[in-house]
A = this chain, B = another copy of it.
Amino acid sequence: VGVGRHRAAELDAADPLRTYRERFAIDDYGLVYLDGNSLGRMPRATPACLQQVAAVQWGDRLVRSWDEGWMELPTEIGDRLAAAALGAAPGQVVVGDSTTVCFYKLVCAALELRPGRTEIVTDVDNFPTDRYALEGIAQARGLTVRWIQGDPAAGPTPELLAPLLGEKTALVTFSHVSYRSAHIADMAAISALAHEAGALTVGDLSHSAGSVPVELDRDGADLAVGCTYKYLNGGPGAPAYMYARAELHDQLRQPIWGWLGRRDPFAMEQGYLPAPGIRALLSGTPPVLSLIAIDEGVNLVAQAGIERIRAKGIALTELAIELADTKLADRGVTIASPRDPAQRGAHVALAHPDAERLCAQLIERCVIPDFRRPDVIRCGFSPLSTRFVDVWDGIEALRALLESSR
Protein backbone atom coordinates (compact mmCIF):
# COMPACT_ATOMS: atom_id res chain seq x y z
CA VAL A 1 0.00 0.00 0.00
CA GLY A 2 1.10 3.57 0.59
CA VAL A 3 2.49 5.98 -1.95
CA GLY A 4 3.73 4.33 -5.11
CA ARG A 5 6.82 5.41 -7.00
CA HIS A 6 4.59 6.64 -9.82
CA ARG A 7 3.22 9.35 -7.56
CA ALA A 8 6.76 10.51 -6.80
CA ALA A 9 7.43 10.55 -10.54
CA GLU A 10 4.29 12.63 -11.06
CA LEU A 11 5.49 15.11 -8.47
CA ASP A 12 8.76 15.40 -10.38
CA ALA A 13 6.93 15.96 -13.64
CA ALA A 14 4.94 18.79 -12.06
CA ASP A 15 7.93 20.30 -10.24
CA PRO A 16 8.56 23.87 -11.44
CA LEU A 17 12.24 23.49 -10.44
CA ARG A 18 12.75 20.16 -12.22
CA THR A 19 15.09 21.59 -14.85
CA TYR A 20 17.56 22.74 -12.22
CA ARG A 21 18.77 19.20 -11.69
CA GLU A 22 20.33 19.43 -15.14
CA ARG A 23 22.42 22.33 -13.94
CA PHE A 24 24.35 19.93 -11.70
CA ALA A 25 26.89 17.28 -12.71
CA ILE A 26 24.84 14.15 -12.06
CA ASP A 27 25.73 10.91 -13.77
CA ASP A 28 22.67 8.74 -14.11
CA TYR A 29 24.00 5.56 -12.58
CA GLY A 30 21.42 5.34 -9.86
CA LEU A 31 23.10 7.11 -6.96
CA VAL A 32 20.50 8.33 -4.47
CA TYR A 33 22.24 11.28 -2.88
CA LEU A 34 20.63 12.38 0.36
CA ASP A 35 23.57 14.32 1.72
CA GLY A 36 23.35 17.61 -0.11
CA ASN A 37 23.14 19.23 3.31
CA SER A 38 26.65 17.97 4.09
CA LEU A 39 28.32 18.48 0.72
CA GLY A 40 26.13 19.85 -2.03
CA ARG A 41 26.24 18.57 -5.60
CA MET A 42 28.64 20.18 -8.05
CA PRO A 43 27.09 22.70 -10.45
CA ARG A 44 27.80 21.62 -14.00
CA ALA A 45 29.29 25.03 -14.86
CA THR A 46 31.81 25.03 -12.01
CA PRO A 47 34.72 23.00 -13.43
CA ALA A 48 34.85 25.05 -16.62
CA CYS A 49 34.63 28.23 -14.55
CA LEU A 50 37.53 27.05 -12.37
CA GLN A 51 39.56 26.14 -15.43
CA GLN A 52 38.92 29.53 -16.98
CA VAL A 53 39.80 31.42 -13.81
CA ALA A 54 42.96 29.38 -13.39
CA ALA A 55 44.04 29.77 -17.02
CA VAL A 56 43.20 33.44 -17.48
CA GLN A 57 43.13 35.17 -14.10
CA TRP A 58 45.94 33.23 -12.47
CA GLY A 59 47.97 31.86 -15.37
CA ASP A 60 47.80 34.86 -17.67
CA ARG A 61 46.96 37.99 -15.70
CA LEU A 62 48.83 36.78 -12.63
CA VAL A 63 49.27 39.29 -9.81
CA ARG A 64 47.42 41.94 -11.83
CA SER A 65 44.19 40.07 -11.10
CA TRP A 66 44.16 41.46 -7.59
CA ASP A 67 43.45 44.88 -9.08
CA GLU A 68 41.24 43.41 -11.78
CA GLY A 69 38.67 41.83 -9.49
CA TRP A 70 40.06 39.58 -6.81
CA MET A 71 40.15 42.30 -4.14
CA GLU A 72 36.41 42.80 -4.51
CA LEU A 73 35.45 39.11 -4.62
CA PRO A 74 34.77 38.78 -0.87
CA THR A 75 32.23 41.60 -0.91
CA GLU A 76 30.86 41.00 -4.41
CA ILE A 77 30.03 37.37 -3.77
CA GLY A 78 28.87 38.40 -0.30
CA ASP A 79 26.39 40.88 -1.75
CA ARG A 80 25.05 38.40 -4.29
CA LEU A 81 24.64 35.82 -1.56
CA ALA A 82 22.97 38.36 0.69
CA ALA A 83 20.38 39.13 -1.97
CA ALA A 84 19.78 35.55 -3.07
CA ALA A 85 19.60 33.78 0.25
CA LEU A 86 20.14 35.89 3.35
CA GLY A 87 17.61 38.70 3.31
CA ALA A 88 20.37 41.23 3.83
CA ALA A 89 20.91 44.58 2.15
CA PRO A 90 24.25 45.12 0.36
CA GLY A 91 27.44 45.88 2.24
CA GLN A 92 26.77 43.59 5.17
CA VAL A 93 28.14 40.23 4.00
CA VAL A 94 31.70 39.20 3.23
CA VAL A 95 33.14 35.81 2.26
CA GLY A 96 36.44 34.73 3.71
CA ASP A 97 37.77 32.05 6.00
CA SER A 98 36.43 28.67 7.10
CA THR A 99 33.11 28.54 8.93
CA THR A 100 34.91 27.83 12.20
CA VAL A 101 37.29 30.76 11.82
CA CYS A 102 34.45 33.09 10.77
CA PHE A 103 32.36 31.98 13.74
CA TYR A 104 35.32 32.56 16.07
CA LYS A 105 35.82 36.06 14.70
CA LEU A 106 32.16 37.00 15.06
CA VAL A 107 31.87 35.67 18.61
CA CYS A 108 35.00 37.58 19.63
CA ALA A 109 33.66 40.68 17.89
CA ALA A 110 30.37 40.39 19.76
CA LEU A 111 32.17 40.02 23.08
CA GLU A 112 34.17 43.20 22.35
CA LEU A 113 30.86 45.01 21.86
CA ARG A 114 29.58 43.82 25.25
CA PRO A 115 32.52 44.35 27.60
CA GLY A 116 32.02 43.24 31.18
CA ARG A 117 29.36 40.70 30.30
CA THR A 118 30.52 37.20 31.10
CA GLU A 119 28.00 34.73 29.73
CA ILE A 120 27.39 33.14 26.34
CA VAL A 121 24.17 31.22 25.79
CA THR A 122 23.80 28.38 23.33
CA ASP A 123 22.20 24.94 23.14
CA VAL A 124 23.78 21.51 23.65
CA ASP A 125 22.54 20.44 20.23
CA ASN A 126 24.18 23.29 18.40
CA PHE A 127 26.60 22.32 15.65
CA PRO A 128 29.74 20.76 17.18
CA THR A 129 32.29 23.16 15.71
CA ASP A 130 30.32 26.09 17.11
CA ARG A 131 30.25 24.48 20.54
CA TYR A 132 33.97 23.77 20.43
CA ALA A 133 34.82 27.30 19.32
CA LEU A 134 32.71 28.71 22.16
CA GLU A 135 34.41 26.48 24.71
CA GLY A 136 37.80 27.66 23.55
CA ILE A 137 36.83 31.31 23.68
CA ALA A 138 35.16 30.92 27.08
CA GLN A 139 38.21 29.18 28.53
CA ALA A 140 40.63 31.77 27.15
CA ARG A 141 38.60 34.67 28.53
CA GLY A 142 37.20 33.19 31.71
CA LEU A 143 33.62 33.34 30.46
CA THR A 144 30.75 30.96 31.14
CA VAL A 145 28.79 29.11 28.49
CA ARG A 146 25.20 28.56 29.59
CA TRP A 147 23.79 25.57 27.78
CA ILE A 148 20.16 25.25 26.79
CA GLN A 149 19.22 21.61 27.41
CA GLY A 150 16.29 21.25 25.10
CA ASP A 151 14.46 18.63 23.14
CA PRO A 152 16.99 17.44 20.54
CA ALA A 153 14.20 17.46 17.95
CA ALA A 154 13.65 21.12 18.67
CA GLY A 155 16.27 23.80 19.00
CA PRO A 156 16.80 26.77 21.24
CA THR A 157 13.17 27.83 21.66
CA PRO A 158 12.43 31.27 23.06
CA GLU A 159 10.82 29.57 26.09
CA LEU A 160 14.00 27.70 26.93
CA LEU A 161 16.19 30.67 26.14
CA ALA A 162 14.43 33.34 28.17
CA PRO A 163 15.30 32.08 31.69
CA LEU A 164 19.01 31.98 30.83
CA LEU A 165 19.21 35.60 29.79
CA GLY A 166 20.19 38.46 32.03
CA GLU A 167 22.51 41.36 32.50
CA LYS A 168 25.52 39.05 32.35
CA THR A 169 24.58 37.76 28.91
CA ALA A 170 26.94 39.03 26.23
CA LEU A 171 25.78 36.82 23.44
CA VAL A 172 23.22 34.29 22.28
CA THR A 173 24.37 31.96 19.55
CA PHE A 174 22.28 29.37 17.76
CA SER A 175 21.91 27.47 14.53
CA HIS A 176 19.08 28.77 12.39
CA VAL A 177 18.31 25.22 11.27
CA SER A 178 19.50 22.42 13.55
CA TYR A 179 22.10 20.22 11.83
CA ARG A 180 20.51 17.14 13.33
CA SER A 181 16.76 17.62 13.62
CA ALA A 182 16.25 20.35 10.97
CA HIS A 183 14.27 22.38 13.51
CA ILE A 184 14.04 26.03 12.43
CA ALA A 185 14.84 28.44 15.21
CA ASP A 186 12.64 31.50 15.58
CA MET A 187 15.25 34.08 14.68
CA ALA A 188 13.04 37.10 15.23
CA ALA A 189 11.97 35.96 18.69
CA ILE A 190 15.51 35.02 19.71
CA SER A 191 16.84 38.36 18.49
CA ALA A 192 14.16 40.24 20.38
CA LEU A 193 14.81 38.32 23.61
CA ALA A 194 18.56 38.79 23.31
CA HIS A 195 18.20 42.51 22.65
CA GLU A 196 15.82 42.89 25.56
CA ALA A 197 18.60 41.55 27.76
CA GLY A 198 21.12 43.86 26.11
CA ALA A 199 22.87 40.97 24.41
CA LEU A 200 23.85 40.35 20.80
CA THR A 201 23.17 37.33 18.58
CA VAL A 202 25.38 35.22 16.34
CA GLY A 203 23.36 32.92 14.10
CA ASP A 204 24.79 29.98 12.16
CA LEU A 205 23.00 29.67 8.83
CA SER A 206 24.93 26.67 7.50
CA HIS A 207 21.87 24.43 7.34
CA SER A 208 19.37 27.09 6.33
CA ALA A 209 20.84 29.44 3.73
CA GLY A 210 19.85 28.23 0.30
CA SER A 211 17.11 25.95 1.57
CA VAL A 212 14.81 28.07 3.73
CA PRO A 213 14.28 31.82 3.52
CA VAL A 214 16.57 33.73 5.84
CA GLU A 215 15.63 37.29 6.73
CA LEU A 216 18.58 38.67 8.64
CA ASP A 217 17.68 42.34 8.29
CA ARG A 218 13.99 41.84 9.03
CA ASP A 219 14.53 39.50 11.96
CA GLY A 220 16.94 41.74 13.81
CA ALA A 221 20.01 39.56 13.47
CA ASP A 222 23.24 41.15 14.67
CA LEU A 223 25.92 38.82 13.37
CA ALA A 224 25.67 35.62 11.37
CA VAL A 225 27.87 33.06 9.71
CA GLY A 226 27.35 30.14 7.39
CA CYS A 227 29.11 27.70 5.15
CA THR A 228 28.72 27.66 1.37
CA TYR A 229 29.27 23.98 0.65
CA LYS A 230 25.88 22.60 1.62
CA TYR A 231 22.77 24.07 -0.02
CA LEU A 232 24.89 26.69 -1.76
CA ASN A 233 26.90 24.09 -3.68
CA GLY A 234 30.21 25.94 -3.38
CA GLY A 235 32.36 22.82 -3.15
CA PRO A 236 34.29 21.04 -0.42
CA GLY A 237 35.50 23.44 2.24
CA ALA A 238 34.38 26.47 0.25
CA PRO A 239 34.91 29.64 2.30
CA ALA A 240 32.22 30.78 4.70
CA TYR A 241 30.47 34.13 4.88
CA MET A 242 29.97 36.60 7.68
CA TYR A 243 27.11 39.02 8.13
CA ALA A 244 27.22 42.05 10.37
CA ARG A 245 24.29 44.42 10.69
CA ALA A 246 25.26 47.80 9.23
CA GLU A 247 24.62 49.68 12.48
CA LEU A 248 27.36 47.67 14.17
CA HIS A 249 30.06 48.39 11.59
CA ASP A 250 31.45 51.50 13.22
CA GLN A 251 32.39 49.72 16.44
CA LEU A 252 33.12 46.31 15.02
CA ARG A 253 36.53 44.82 15.89
CA GLN A 254 37.44 41.24 15.16
CA PRO A 255 40.48 39.56 16.71
CA ILE A 256 42.51 38.43 13.68
CA TRP A 257 44.03 41.58 12.27
CA GLY A 258 45.51 41.06 8.84
CA TRP A 259 46.38 42.94 5.72
CA LEU A 260 43.10 42.35 3.89
CA GLY A 261 41.01 43.77 6.72
CA ARG A 262 43.17 46.87 6.99
CA ARG A 263 42.31 50.25 5.57
CA ASP A 264 44.33 50.69 2.36
CA PRO A 265 45.90 47.22 2.48
CA PHE A 266 48.57 47.83 -0.15
CA ALA A 267 50.00 50.73 1.84
CA MET A 268 51.54 48.14 4.18
CA GLU A 269 52.03 50.89 6.71
CA GLN A 270 52.83 50.67 10.39
CA GLY A 271 49.82 50.23 12.65
CA TYR A 272 46.52 48.50 12.02
CA LEU A 273 43.44 50.50 11.12
CA PRO A 274 40.33 48.50 10.27
CA ALA A 275 38.90 48.92 6.80
CA PRO A 276 35.55 50.70 6.65
CA GLY A 277 32.38 48.65 6.68
CA ILE A 278 32.10 44.92 6.40
CA ARG A 279 35.67 44.50 5.10
CA ALA A 280 36.89 45.00 8.67
CA LEU A 281 35.92 41.36 9.22
CA LEU A 282 38.50 40.14 6.72
CA SER A 283 41.93 38.94 7.82
CA GLY A 284 44.27 37.33 5.30
CA THR A 285 44.21 36.43 1.63
CA PRO A 286 41.14 34.34 0.77
CA PRO A 287 41.49 31.14 -1.26
CA VAL A 288 40.50 32.65 -4.60
CA LEU A 289 39.84 29.41 -6.50
CA SER A 290 37.54 28.09 -3.78
CA LEU A 291 35.95 31.52 -3.50
CA ILE A 292 35.11 31.73 -7.19
CA ALA A 293 33.66 28.23 -7.11
CA ILE A 294 30.90 29.57 -4.86
CA ASP A 295 29.52 31.84 -7.51
CA GLU A 296 27.56 29.39 -9.62
CA GLY A 297 25.79 27.89 -6.61
CA VAL A 298 24.71 31.35 -5.54
CA ASN A 299 23.53 32.06 -9.08
CA LEU A 300 21.41 28.92 -9.09
CA VAL A 301 19.71 29.87 -5.83
CA ALA A 302 19.12 33.39 -7.14
CA GLN A 303 17.61 32.12 -10.38
CA ALA A 304 15.41 29.48 -8.83
CA GLY A 305 14.27 31.82 -6.08
CA ILE A 306 14.36 30.94 -2.40
CA GLU A 307 10.56 30.81 -2.09
CA ARG A 308 10.26 28.13 -4.75
CA ILE A 309 13.21 26.27 -3.24
CA ARG A 310 11.48 26.39 0.13
CA ALA A 311 8.21 25.11 -1.30
CA LYS A 312 9.97 22.16 -2.86
CA GLY A 313 11.92 21.49 0.33
CA ILE A 314 8.65 21.25 2.21
CA ALA A 315 7.15 18.96 -0.41
CA LEU A 316 10.20 16.67 -0.40
CA THR A 317 10.33 16.37 3.38
CA GLU A 318 6.56 15.90 3.61
CA LEU A 319 6.81 13.01 1.17
CA ALA A 320 9.73 11.52 3.12
CA ILE A 321 7.79 11.66 6.36
CA GLU A 322 4.66 10.23 4.77
CA LEU A 323 6.68 7.35 3.33
CA ALA A 324 8.56 6.79 6.58
CA ASP A 325 5.29 6.68 8.50
CA THR A 326 3.80 4.07 6.17
CA LYS A 327 6.87 1.98 5.40
CA LEU A 328 9.29 2.34 8.29
CA ALA A 329 7.35 3.08 11.44
CA ASP A 330 6.48 -0.54 12.11
CA ARG A 331 10.14 -1.45 11.66
CA GLY A 332 11.31 0.74 14.53
CA VAL A 333 12.04 3.99 12.69
CA THR A 334 10.78 7.19 14.28
CA ILE A 335 10.76 10.75 12.98
CA ALA A 336 13.27 12.86 14.91
CA SER A 337 12.46 16.07 13.06
CA PRO A 338 9.54 18.45 13.57
CA ARG A 339 6.37 17.21 11.89
CA ASP A 340 5.18 20.74 11.31
CA PRO A 341 6.76 21.75 7.98
CA ALA A 342 6.84 25.38 9.08
CA GLN A 343 9.33 24.34 11.76
CA ARG A 344 11.43 22.05 9.60
CA GLY A 345 14.27 22.70 7.16
CA ALA A 346 15.10 20.59 4.12
CA HIS A 347 16.31 17.45 5.85
CA VAL A 348 14.64 14.76 7.92
CA ALA A 349 16.17 12.84 10.81
CA LEU A 350 15.05 9.22 10.99
CA ALA A 351 15.90 7.57 14.31
CA HIS A 352 16.63 3.86 14.67
CA PRO A 353 18.79 2.00 17.21
CA ASP A 354 20.85 0.44 14.40
CA ALA A 355 21.28 3.73 12.51
CA GLU A 356 25.04 3.35 12.17
CA ARG A 357 24.88 -0.09 10.57
CA LEU A 358 21.92 0.89 8.41
CA CYS A 359 23.73 3.96 7.07
CA ALA A 360 26.79 1.90 6.17
CA GLN A 361 24.61 -0.63 4.37
CA LEU A 362 22.68 2.07 2.53
CA ILE A 363 25.95 3.61 1.33
CA GLU A 364 27.05 0.20 0.01
CA ARG A 365 23.84 0.25 -2.00
CA CYS A 366 24.56 3.75 -3.36
CA VAL A 367 22.00 5.47 -1.16
CA ILE A 368 23.88 8.15 0.74
CA PRO A 369 22.44 9.64 3.89
CA ASP A 370 24.46 10.80 6.92
CA PHE A 371 24.81 8.94 10.18
CA ARG A 372 24.60 11.22 13.18
CA ARG A 373 25.36 9.63 16.54
CA PRO A 374 23.89 7.96 18.35
CA ASP A 375 20.86 6.89 16.33
CA VAL A 376 20.04 9.25 13.48
CA ILE A 377 19.88 8.54 9.76
CA ARG A 378 19.92 12.07 8.40
CA CYS A 379 18.39 12.48 4.96
CA GLY A 380 19.06 15.79 3.26
CA PHE A 381 16.87 16.75 0.32
CA SER A 382 18.66 19.60 -1.35
CA PRO A 383 15.75 21.03 -3.34
CA LEU A 384 17.57 22.03 -6.53
CA SER A 385 19.22 18.66 -7.14
CA THR A 386 16.93 16.12 -5.46
CA ARG A 387 13.94 14.51 -7.14
CA PHE A 388 10.85 13.15 -5.49
CA VAL A 389 11.76 9.72 -6.84
CA ASP A 390 15.06 10.02 -4.95
CA VAL A 391 13.06 10.42 -1.77
CA TRP A 392 10.99 7.39 -2.70
CA ASP A 393 14.03 5.30 -3.65
CA GLY A 394 15.88 6.23 -0.48
CA ILE A 395 13.05 5.33 1.85
CA GLU A 396 12.34 2.16 -0.10
CA ALA A 397 16.00 1.13 0.17
CA LEU A 398 15.83 1.56 3.92
CA ARG A 399 12.60 -0.42 4.07
CA ALA A 400 14.14 -3.25 2.08
CA LEU A 401 17.18 -3.28 4.35
CA LEU A 402 15.08 -3.43 7.49
CA GLU A 403 12.94 -6.13 5.92
CA SER A 404 15.92 -8.30 4.97
CA SER A 405 17.63 -7.94 8.34
CA ARG A 406 14.67 -9.15 10.32
Q: Which residues from chain B contact A132 at a C-beta distance below 8 Å?
A: 257-259, 262, 272
Given A259-B129, A283-B100: A39 in contact with B60 (beta carbons within 8 A): no
| Residues of chain A at interface, number, CB under 8 A | 76
Residue A236 at the chain B interface, CB threshold 8 Å? yes
**A101-B283 contact, Cβ under 8 Å, with A54-B42, A129-B259:** yes
Q: Which of A34-55 contact B (CB under 8 A)?
A: 35, 38-39, 41-42, 46-47, 50-51, 54-55
Question: In the assembled complex, which residues on chain B have CB atoms less than 8 Å from the CB atom of A59?
Answer: 25, 41-42, 47
Assembly CA distance A359 to B235 (angstroms): 38
A383 near B: Cβ within 8 Å? Answer: no
Check A1 for interface membership: any CB of B closer than 8 A: no
Whether A58 and B35, one on each chain, are in contact in the complex, defined by CB atoms closer than 8 angstroms, is no
Whether A237 lies near B62 (C-beta < 8 A) is: no
Within the complex, what minimum Cβ distance (angstroms) separates A113 from chain B?
14
In angstroms, how far is the closest chain B Cβ from the Cβ of A149? Answer: 11
Chain B contacts of A287 at CB under 8 A?
A: 98, 236-239, 287, 289-290
A-B contact pairs, 15 of them (CB 8 A): A35-B63, A41-B62, A58-B235, A97-B98, A97-B284, A98-B287, A101-B101, A101-B258, A104-B258, A129-B259, A132-B259, A135-B272, A137-B255, A229-B285, A289-B290
A284 touches B58 (CB 8 A): no
Known: A47-B54, A289-B290. 10 other contacts (CB 8 A): A42-B59, A54-B235, A64-B368, A97-B98, A100-B284, A104-B256, A133-B257, A237-B288, A288-B290, A289-B289
Q: How far is the CA of A133 from the CA of B387 in the complex (A)?
A: 48
B residues near A3, Cβ cutoff 8 Å: none
The 5 closest A-B pairs by CB, nearest first: A100-B284, A98-B284, A100-B258, A136-B257, A287-B290
Contact A27–B290 (Cβ < 8 Å): no
Question: How far does the alpha carbon of A227 sit from the alpha carbon of B289 in the complex, in Å?
Answer: 15
| A271 contacts partner chain B, Cβ-Cβ < 8 Å | yes
A40 to chain B, nearest CB (A): 9
Q: Is A342 an interface residue (CB 8 A)?
A: no
Interface flag for A9 (CB, 8 Å): no
Q: Counting CB contacts under 8 A, is A268 at the interface?
A: yes
Q: B-facing mask of A369-387, CB < 8 A → 1, else 0?
A: 0101100000000000000
State A79–B54 Cα separation when bound (angstroms).
25
* Interface presence of A140 (CB below 8 A): yes
Check B258 against A98 for contact (C-beta < 8 Å): yes
Q: Chain B contacts of A57 at CB under 8 A?
A: 236
User: Which residues from chain B contact A133 at a C-beta distance below 8 Å?
Assistant: 256-258, 283
A212: CB under 8 A from chain B? no
